[in-house]
Structure 1
């Protein structure tokens, strides 16, 4: 039974890791915290379920791609139209702007799609896979596979492609990168768009497991932030480890103590890390911020 609980926690931890990765990328390149991540998750789930899947009747993978593209465009527009105008302001101003944009997204979802929760049935049905006595739904397996593929792809892109080198250069020193001819604003817009895609994928993958509501992303966004702090603020590998650890700790704590305290367990773990190891499990190195 404990193995079953840990496996389910890993699936949820993958969702937290996706959100935490988005936080880490935005922090490394823009030096701000995108507190609209949870609302991007919510809005993308509504767009995926209500617009592309239910209204237009598109197949799962096509709806997923269109939703990710729409969220990427929205994130890039926000970066170019809002953040680019706030670069000379204090970082707090840009952070408040992300909070305001998050509120805008949540209320737009409520206005467009209504306050009623939406139910989305997984295209993989209720099929279960038995692995060594541990039963996982196909949706949970899909979550793990998608997250592993994304993490592998982003590592290869960052380390071995010109786009990755440009992103890393911008993250290390924005002013020097601009002097070297790198289109910094375009890189920042691309990074913010990518973080929005990560949040969108988290929302799409969560949709079959929970009702789609205007509040579904609020707690997930906060826990993604907690995961980044636990793993190491701004650390990409730390975001992954922190997300998985948080998901497992939540499930094990809820199983051994009480599910009533599931959310409290996450923030108790955060407090413990802030006291014992405030730099996180894998602290970010200044020489390798990306």
Structure 2
């Protein structure tokens, strides 16, 4: 029986359950195994505790042999390669950002001074560029907790990744989906990373059946921007890629937290690694490092 390690949140269990079902459909025997992390026991915003506490706990369980497969939100993984792991990217979920607002409002319809919840610098900077009048508040907790702030009236709206809403069965709660060219998502947003131990040939073969070529190319190009900029996953950096006939179009941006400056670059190519590096180099040449500081 293949043991799939997952955090215990509703979203994590749901997305890991999709991976389990796909593995079973390809002939494997698989079951979920909950891995409790220090982050699950903290009430602090993820930007303060760091998403690394979630991913490292799953990887620790994987390398200790407690589980055979670990399922991550790819955007949360460090950009440095982990030689002990074999990683595949399944078909990607919608990578757009979503607004959940009271009374079905869109971002443009929110009143002046509306209270909008998010703790991600990338989202804060873009919100301030679009609506500098907003009162942006810190946001913590799982998806259900975050939506509860809008339901209770404590916040007028929140911004979340639509992929998480969709996977969790809450997609209809979104009152607006933002085009990626208007409100740019995090690198690899909507993509899962499925890992096994590099030396486990049987499990490698099983998870290889889930790999999606386009999703892999997109996520690789986007994350290469993050790596080349030497920015963490909570830095004000965004990227999204599309694939058409083998050609990758990559757009990435770096944003000042106060919304005053936005640098974006777009390029096309067929090698996701070199494409990501070239876009990052162009951003650095224009002063991206100073903006991220």
TM-score, normalised with respect to structure 1 = 0.34
Q: RCO greater where, 1 or 2, for CA within 8 Å and sep 6 or more?
A: 1
TM-score, normalised with respect to structure 2 = 0.34
